[in-house]
Amino acid sequence: MTFTPHGKHLIGGEWIGGDATFRSSPAHGPAHNYAAGTPDLVARACAAAADAFDDYAATSREARAAFLEAIADEIDARADAITEIGTQETGLPEARLQGERGRTTGQLRLFADHIRKGDYLDRRIDTALPDRQPAARPELRMIQLPVGPVAVFGASNFPLAFSTAGGDTAAALAAGCPVVVKGHSAHPGTGEIVAEAIKAAIARTGMPPGVFALIQGGNRKVGEALVTDPRIKAVGFTGSLAGGRALFDLCAARPEPIPFFGELGSVNPMFVLPAAAAARADEIGTGWAGSLTMGAGQFCTNPGIAVVLDGPDADRVVDAARRALADAAPQTMLTDGIASAYREGIDRLGQSNAVKPVLNTDSSDRSAGPNLYETTADEFLGEDSLTEEVFGPAGLIVRAGTPDEMLRIARGFPGQLTATLHSDEADAALARRLLPVLAQKAGRVLVNGFPTGVEVADAMVHGGPYPASTNFGATSVGTLSIRRFLRPVCFQNLPDYILEGDLRG
């Protein structure tokens, strides 16, 4: 099945064009023209979402679950076409797109199961105590309710799982919130075909047509119009620190400030403890290289920094990583802009007097090769720029002279999505010292693994202290992410004649 995009926005259940257009820039295959978003189109989409909110919020959990499952079914029905245009636009291999589609449909179905159970409502009932002294207690019922229309920004590095029908959209729709998606211009055709799947699911399940909208492309003013529209009540974002921070500030400056749930990036440090390095240096170094180069390093959980205790075992870890990276073939990056930013990042590292190169490879156009550098603890602690993310297959080894230096390095990191310990039983004392420090820094702490790959599950946390994300109490992956788009409401002395639905407990 070959998919030819029509290049329009989806607003209020209708495909809508416009005079302003942009042209896609695929890694291979044909380019296509798309209508470009405008602030006026954003306003129309937000108005349709606001009109749909009351009816959609009032739907039963079963009806919303069936809607989420219908979206998943409609995406699966378009599987081959999604893979075809997705690989053309992004340069990602077919297997990666197929796996990401499975994750996308899987999390839609997971949220359907989650809301059917009803636990997310966190219902609490304090019965009335009319005879309590010195004052009676009224009956109190608390429940979580949807916040209202939600804006979602598609991510460049995940055209399916963090974009049109990705985790933010799935969580918001599960909560009972209409969604307006600002599609990413790196993969507009993929966004369009997924929006077609959502439109078909809306028709199948009888949902209000304004419950979902897709606005394609457009300049910065389109994103600004979306987060400042008074009908939008929360924002989900995955992207750069600079772009996310600008939108976060706009949300905070509104007459009615709203929460901005931004996942902004991370260097995801690994700490290789001495006994682990002695026992399996080759395994750790080779595994790290594989994690660094997975998907051309274009994962927000890419482990860009490894901290090792200096000595012969550290040399073995470094040498194993260097050999594995030297054998890695160049890969196509998602966009020209990402490829350019990667080259700027490795140039910055290469020009720093604080680091020395271990392996350099050529990167040109949209092709990226791996690069590896090393530095000392003193140099690392003295140059803040070394903790900045380089989005791509670049690694930095930090050699610590003592365990205390390892702790100093850990305490010096800003907020992270993940932090990893490689340890053996003989490392227990140092691991116990590091673990609480890393838990303060990251939303997910791993032991003897690599952070690329985020399980979609109840216990997952994909977030962390700033600048990893803008809200350390939230996650953008897993069923807990639904809580971002809910607010608690307490009802006092609610009489039986208006008590219905989930409020009954």
**Which sequence positions are flagged as catalytic?**
263, 300
Specify the DSSP class assigned to residue 364: B
Residue 217: left if φ>0, alpha if ψ -120 to 50, beta else—which one? left
Place of tokens 């992270």: 416
CA separation (Å) from 215 to 133, 170, 192, 382, 403? Answer: 58, 17, 10, 44, 51
Cα three-residue angle 10-170-245, rounded to 5 degrees: 85
* Nearest in space to 308 (alpha carbons), one of 294, 297, 319, 299: 319
Residue 177: left if φ>0, alpha if ψ -120 to 50, beta else—which one? beta
Q: Over 292-351, what HEC string results?
A: HHHHHHCCCCCCCEEEEECCHHHHHHHHHHHHHHHCCCCEECCCHHHHHHHHHHHHHHHH
Under 8 Å between Cβ of 392 and 297: yes
How far apart CA 166 and CA 152 sit, in angstroms, is 9
* Nearest in space to 93 (alpha carbons), one of 84, 102, 81: 84
Q: How far is CA 474 from the centre of its chain?
A: 11
Place of tokens 């109190």: 140
Cβ neighbours for 182, distance < 8 A, ≥ 6 positions apart: 37, 151, 152, 153, 154, 215, 218, 222, 223, 226
Q: Tell whether omega for the bond before 188 is within 30 degrees of 0, i.e. cis.
A: no
Question: Helix (H) and strand (E) counts for the chain?
Answer: 14, 21
* Nearest in space to 238 (alpha carbons), one of 332, 147, 166: 166
How far apart CA 221 and CA 215 sit, in angstroms, is 13
Q: How far is CA 321 from the centre of its chain?
A: 27
- H-assigned helices in 78-185: 79-90, 94-117, 167-175
Residue 465: count other Cβ atoms within 10 Å of its Cβ: 18
Q: How far is CA 69 from the centre of its chain?
A: 21
Cα three-residue angle 163-164-165, rounded to 5 degrees: 100
Place of tokens 């996650």: 475
